[in-house]
Amino acid sequence: MNERTVNILGFPFINGTREGFVQHELKPKIMKQEKAFIVTANPEIVELAIGNEEYRKTVESADYIVPDGIGIIVASKMQKTPLAERITGFEVMQDLMTLADKQGLNVYMLGAQEHVVARAANQVKEQYPNLNLVGYHHGFFDINDQAFAESVAKLQPDLIFVATGAPRQEKWISLHADTFDKGIFMGVGGCFDVLAGEVKGAPDLWKKYHVEWLYRLIRQPSRWKRMLVIPRFLLRVAKNRASDS
């Protein structure tokens, strides 16, 4: 671990601001036409990786693991190694699309239901008219389909957003990134649903106090089982800290 990362349960989370990450880490790679794999990790993804060795290796293969989830920030404080700030996948995606709009970059959107990704793509074209949306595809495909990956790679995207949910999105990136000549690859979970207006994003006040999870739970009560992951994750962090001291 170095000062640019904070290790939480064996995973090195980048330690810095969102603006710094996008401008000083990602933008230079894009301009040099290099590749990077970003995992936007919350407690659910960490717990999933701990329980699945194959997925753990996939997450560990990422160039960047960003702290997406207030539970990760709480964990860093419990360890007395506080992260600078929470960096959400949705906001990084928006920042990258803003950059794409300014630079005329190629963007590909992969995931969600067919009508959702189509609607999200239309929103992107309206909001960022100068980026080049080279294509989009729904999330119902065989992740081992090399021919499909090659068809996407031929479009020469600079940004590839994959919204098929964990662990599927990270597995697809890990399997096929080598097929591409360049590109920033990022799993973005349910972000296309928000872009398409299928799911309402949390108001700014809820974001300010880091309680988007509560807002989503109120609007989608069926999420309560997923929320149980957070206390389990924090308990694991507490036990890990106790064993290290």
pLDDT by residue (tens digit) across 125-137? 999 999 999 999 9
Q: Which of 217, 94, 66 is nearest to 161 (CA)?
A: 94
4 domain residue, yes or no:
no
Do 41 and 34 meet the contact criterion of CB atoms below 8 Å apart? Answer: no
In a domain, 6, yes or no: no
Domain membership of residue 99 (yes or no) is: yes
Residue 8 domain-assigned?
no
CA distance 110 to 55: 20
What are the tens digits of pLDDT across the range 27-80? 999 999 999 999 999 999 999 999 999 999 999 999 999 999 899 999 999 999
Q: Give residue 200's pLDDT band: very low, low, confident or very high (50, 70, 90).
A: confident
Domain membership of residue 5 (yes or no) is no
Q: Tell me the average pLDDT across 89-101.
A: 98
Distance, CA of 153 to CA of 155 (rounded, Å):
5
219: in domain: yes
**146 within domain boundaries:** yes
Number of Cβ within a 10 Å radius of residue 213: 19
Number of compact structural domains in the chain = 1
Residue range of the domain that includes 170? 13-244
Mean pLDDT for the chain? 93
In a domain, 217, yes or no: yes
State the angle between helix axes of 146-153 and 168-176 in degrees (0 to 180), rounded to the nearest 10: 70
Whether pLDDT at 1 is above 50: no
